[in-house]
Amino acid sequence: MDDDTGALPAKSDFSAWFNDLLWRAEIMDVRYPVKGLYVWYPYGFAIRKFVYQRLRDLLDRDHQETLFPLLIPEQEFMKEAEHIKGFEDEVYWVTHGGTTPLDVKLALRPTSETAIYPMYALWVRSHADLPMKYYQIVNTFRYETKQTRPLIRLREITSFMESHTVHATWDEAEAQVEYELALTREFYDGFCIPIIISKRPDWDKFPGADYTIAVDAIMPNGKTLQIGTVHHLGTHFSKTFSITYEDKNGEQQLANQTCYGISERSIAALISLHGDDKGLILPPAAAPIQAVIIPITIGKRHEDVMAAAQKLEKDLTAAGFRVKLDTREMRPGAKYYWWELRGVPLRLELGPRDLDAGQIMVVTRTGEKSPIELATAPDGVKTVLGDITEAIRTRAEDHTRSHLSYVATMDGLNAALDAGKVAVVHWCQDRGCGDAIEEKTNASILGTDVRSEYITDTEGTCIACGKRGKATLVGRAY
């Protein structure tokens, strides 16, 4: 197996910690010989499976899953001017079939608006067809020129959930944006990931959108990570792709649209927010193995202990938990380190002493140790899994709160950013003031109209001009 002995780099050295953990906890192998492309290990892919299954379950309340082609013909891709401008430097092109040059170049989707909307033009005929709410989970390709990072900045995004909805009116599309933001909040809450929702400044919105609402998380080093976006597209694309419907009066109307995306950055946030110096810490909802049973078999009691451990595994599995009995020929201590590195929430130690006492020693990945009754193990495990979920959530919320800094002056802004914080300022939303803030800080205005339970001071005077302004997030972003 891989070398997992010895210590990880400290989490305070976030970049080194992240890279080493991905490899040693068997999440991603970064050695694939193409820049920006990485390989999921089975364990990492299992985490992905649980995270994305939850996302599907939430979406399926309101959307339907579909699948569009990877390749987009050049003429479709080039239809929407603003959209092209936003992506043209990042598109991979397929130019040959075998050795024959193609008459029509094919783009590898960097996102699928231009693949999906020509079909929507065919599918949407009447107001009765609306709303139309479809999503797909696919890989997309972007020729990133900045430094690539596994799970964070990729040339192949392997796990892009993109939702595309069509509505009769602008207001209905806006309501859909809000619905999807609420869905995103519920999704991340299930994995104990605190988020901050804000409206991206106009110059940073999705190319071709009326506006963009972003979802950010604060990483351990104080940088922000965009882990979701919801765009109100208005009628930009419906004009271009002729997505019209016949209203009740028999008139043709342009449809209003939204699109919405979440990628494997969600998993980057999951890993980064919860992990510690020992390795991963997975909230039970994301853990491929929620509890690992470590039998302590000494001398003559081997058979007794193994029989009890197997029964425990069976009982817990029957109760719906994801459990593994670790029967490998390793010393118990080595197994403890092994599973701690991989973030398994609970370790159940079962040895002769425990057997005699009719109990199991439960050790949580966050360091709590307590015995539970062997006879009622499923109930005990359920309780402790609930406890650890809350413990993980509290840790992440404390981290997020402590990395936000309310700032009222330009000098204070630089000090806060240099201290590794994300600043909350008030800004009048004027472009000039925005430029002033960004120039003085070497940071970005992430978003305004901030919505977060961590930020209550939503209005105040603009940090640049003193006029009325709204709460605005300023930080260094991935």
SS3 category, 176: helix
Minimal distance, residue 19 CB to RNA, in Å: 6
CB 229 within 8 Å of CB 215: yes
What is the spatial distance between Cα 32 and Cα 15, in angstroms, rounded to a whole number?
19
Residue 80 or 349 having the CB closest to RNA: 349
Minimal distance, residue 338 CB to RNA, in Å: 5
**Residues binding RNA (CB under 7 A):** 1-7, 15-16, 19, 30-31, 33-36, 145-150, 296-299, 329-334, 336-338, 340-341, 349, 351-355, 361, 363, 442
Residue 100 or 147 having the CB closest to RNA: 147
What is the spatial distance between Cα 341 and Cα 326, in angstroms, rounded to a whole number?
15
Minimal distance, residue 29 CB to RNA, in Å: 9
Residue 14 or 179 having the CB closest to RNA: 14
CB 47 within 8 Å of CB 288: yes
Residue 39 or 102 having the CB closest to RNA: 39
Q: What residue ranges in 22-70 does DSSP mark as E strands?
A: 28-29, 39-40, 64-65
CB 195 within 8 Å of CB 201: no
What is the spatial distance between Cα 24 and Cα 8, in angstroms, rounded to a whole number?
9
Minimal distance, residue 87 CB to RNA, in Å: 15
Helices (H), 73-203: 74-77, 81-87, 113-123, 170-190
Minimal distance, residue 262 CB to RNA, in Å: 23
Cis amide bond preceding 131, omega within 30: yes
Residue 223 or 236 having the CB closest to RNA: 223
Minimal distance, residue 3 CB to RNA, in Å: 3
Residue 8 or 209 having the CB closest to RNA: 8
What is the spatial distance between Cα 471 and Cα 459, in angstroms, rounded to a whole number?
6
Minimal distance, residue 278 CB to RNA, in Å: 7
Q: What is the largest CA-CA distance in the chain?
A: 85
Q: Which two tokens mark 357?
A: 């006492």
Q: For residue 427, which phi and psi values (nearest 5 degrees)?
A: -140, 140
Residue 15 or 402 having the CB closest to RNA: 15
* DSSP codes, 278-341: TB----GGG-S-SEEEEE---GGGHHHHHHHHHHHHHHHHHTT--EEE---SS-HHHHHHHHHH
Minimal distance, residue 363 CB to RNA, in Å: 5
Minimal distance, residue 35 CB to RNA, in Å: 3
CB 384 within 8 Å of CB 362: yes
| CA-closest candidate to residue 113, choices 252, 246, 207 | 207
First to last CA, the chain: 32
DSSP annotation of 247 reads: -
Residue 210 or 354 having the CB closest to RNA: 354
Contacts of 45 (CB under 8 A, 6+ apart): none
Minimal distance, residue 89 CB to RNA, in Å: 8
